[in-house]
Amino acid sequence: MLVEIRFHGRGGQGAVTAANLLANAAVREGKYAQAFPYFGAERRGAPVVAFARISDEPIQTHSRIEHPDIVVVLDPKLFELANVTEGLKKNGIVIANAKQKPDVGETFKVYCVDATSIAQSIGLVVSGWPVVNTVMLGAFAKATDLVKLESIIEAVREQFPGKIGDLNANAIMKAAESVREC
pLDDT tens-digit series, residues 71-118: 999 999 999 888 999 999 999 999 999 999 998 888 899 999 999 999
Q: What is the pLDDT of residue 151?
A: 98
How far apart (Å, rounded) are the C-alpha atoms in residues 94 and 109? 6
Task: Please name the residue ranges forming H helices in 122-179.
Answer: 133-144, 149-159, 163-178
How far apart (Å, rounded) are the C-alpha atoms in residues 128 and 114? 17
Spatial contact of 1 and 120, defined as CB atoms under 8 Å apart:
no
Instruction: Spell out the residues 6+ positions from residue 54 whose beta carbon is closer than 8 angstroms to its own.
Output: 1, 2, 3, 5, 22, 23, 26, 31, 32, 33, 146, 147
**Cβ neighbour number for residue 5 with a 10 Å cutoff:** 26
Q: What is the pLDDT of residue 105?
A: 81
**Does 42 score more than 90 pLDDT?**
no
**Which structural domain range is residue 142 located in?**
2-181
How far apart (Å, rounded) are the C-alpha atoms in residues 157 and 163? 9
What pTM did the predictor assign?
0.94
**Does 44 score more than 70 pLDDT?**
no
CATH number at residue 13: 3.40.920.10
Q: How do residues 5-37 score in pLDDT, each as one tens digit?
A: 999 998 888 899 999 999 999 999 999 999 998
How many structural domains compose the chain?
Answer: 1
